[in-house]
Amino acid sequence: MRVLTKTLVSVTTAIGIAAGGLATAGTAMAAPATAQERVVTADAGTLAVVNLGLSSAQAKNVQRWLKTHHGYTGAIDGQLGTNSWKAFQRCLKKYWGYTGAIDGIVGGGTVSALQRLLKANGYYNGAIDGIAGAGTKKAFATWANRI
């Protein structure tokens, strides 16, 4: 009888440990984020500051220009965030054919209008395609150095 009791206690203990380990393993080893969740997180982070290749000093030049001419009221911190781009979009809407919302999101419409501004001022000679490629970024940086 004693051997049977010891065996039952040992088996019950082993099952309890295994069950407890499995229960906590479910929370400790949660599934990784799906690809869609990772993209949304990455996009949200990318939207916070979009300097389009500008250095901090160049972005500060742009912010000072926006403050002087287009109602930017934020900090001159070298980070082109939502409020910087809202001010830029107001400028682009008034003068450069931007038709989108004033939302601070740097999408294809914002980039196309920026390309028109840069082209009209002799800094950009590429296509007005709404893609912030190397040519657009280089032209934006040159323009930012001169304003």
Sequence-separated (6 or more) residues with CB below 8 Å from residue 23: none
90, two tokens: 């107001």
Is pLDDT larger for residue 111 or for residue 12?
111
What digits encode the pLDDT tens for the residues 74-83? Answer: 999 999 999 9
pLDDT at 30 over 50: no
Query: Is the model's pLDDT at 85 over the cut of 80?
Result: yes
Residue 35 scores a pLDDT above 50 = no
Which is higher by pLDDT, 132 or 18? 132
- Strand-pairing partners, residue 49, are 81
Cβ-based neighbour number of residue 107 at 10 Å: 14
Question: What does the mean pLDDT of the chain come to?
Answer: 79
Query: How confident is the model at residue 48, as a pLDDT?
Result: 67
Inter-CA distances, 92 with 7, 115, 145, Å: 80, 10, 19
Please report, as a single letter, which amino acid is at residue 29. Answer: M
pLDDT tens-digit series, residues 39-54: 333 344 444 689 999 9
Burial class of residue 135 (count of CB atoms within 10 Å of its CB; 0-12, 13-18, 19+) = middle
Q: What does the alpha-carbon distance between residue 102 and residue 8 come to, in Å, rounded to a whole number? A: 71
Q: pTM, whole model, 2 decimals?
A: 0.68
